[in-house]
Chain A
Amino acid sequence: AQKVTQAQTEISVVEKEDVTLDCVYETRDTTYYLFWYKQPPSGELVFLIRRNSFDEQNEISGRYSWNFQKSTSSFNFTITASQVVDSAVYFCALRFGTGANNLFFGTGTRLTVIP
């Protein structure tokens, strides 16, 4: 069965701290894609990154970085020097195969950055 687990329900950090959001996934497919989305209080789901199962290189984009490790089935997301605008719910998602209903979301991690 396909599954995405975000064990951290809520995290609070003080501004400028670094924070890592964990994501563990489960799939039998050898080809799949992993995603992170951000959902601020306004509601829109904002796409942040996509990573395919054959590319384990870490990625950095500004203050954001992602660590993909197939050996532990994890795709963790780190925010460096957090800011209040980073406060949101972050979702990790897994997409595999073909079809309309092939996108599986984790339950999300609510990040609060305290000024």
Chain B
Amino acid sequence: DVKVTQSSRYLVKRTGEKVFLECVQDMDHENMFWYRQDPGLGLRLIYFSYDVKMKEKGDIPEGYSVSREKKERFSLILESASTNQTSMYLCASSTGTTSGNTIYFGEGSWLTVV
């Protein structure tokens, strides 16, 4: 079974703090993703990585950065957390970007910024 593991399930951070969300996948997938999920807005892609040290912006990259130093690990960084970044964050991975490749998701990280 594919396993995408997000290290922190529940976090509470203060406005202005730097926040790291870590994600590890165990299936040697080239592609990794960070989404956020908000009620009424569905899933929105923040960043995507198709290889180590490679990244592409998604629909809502503002206020976020990412790091992929190893193939299995993809980190999402909130440089200076703000209350409008309170959300559920989902990491995902996939073998490729064509339509037939299933995207597998992690357990989610619930972030509250106060």
- Which of A's residues lie within 8 Å of B, judged by CB? 29, 31-33, 35, 37, 42-47, 50, 52, 95-103, 105, 107-108
Contact = CB atoms under 8 A, between A and B. Distances in A.
A46 B50 CA distance: 22
Report the contact-size class of chain B (Cβ under 8 Å from the partner).
Answer: 20 to 34
A35 B106 CA distance: 16
A70 B31 CA distance: 30
A98 B98 contact: yes
Given A98-B97, A101-B58, A47 B31 contact: no
Contacts of A99: 97
Contact of A96 (B99, B104, B108, B110): B99
Interface string B10-48: 000000000000000000000101000000001101001
A105 B9 CA distance: 23
B107 A100 contact: no
Given A31-B99, A33-B100, A100 B50 contact: yes
A67 B99 CA distance: 20
A99 B94 CA distance: 11
A44 B106 contact: yes
10 contacts: A33-B99, A37-B105, A43-B110, A52-B100, A95-B99, A98-B98, A100-B97, A101-B48, A101-B59, A105-B43
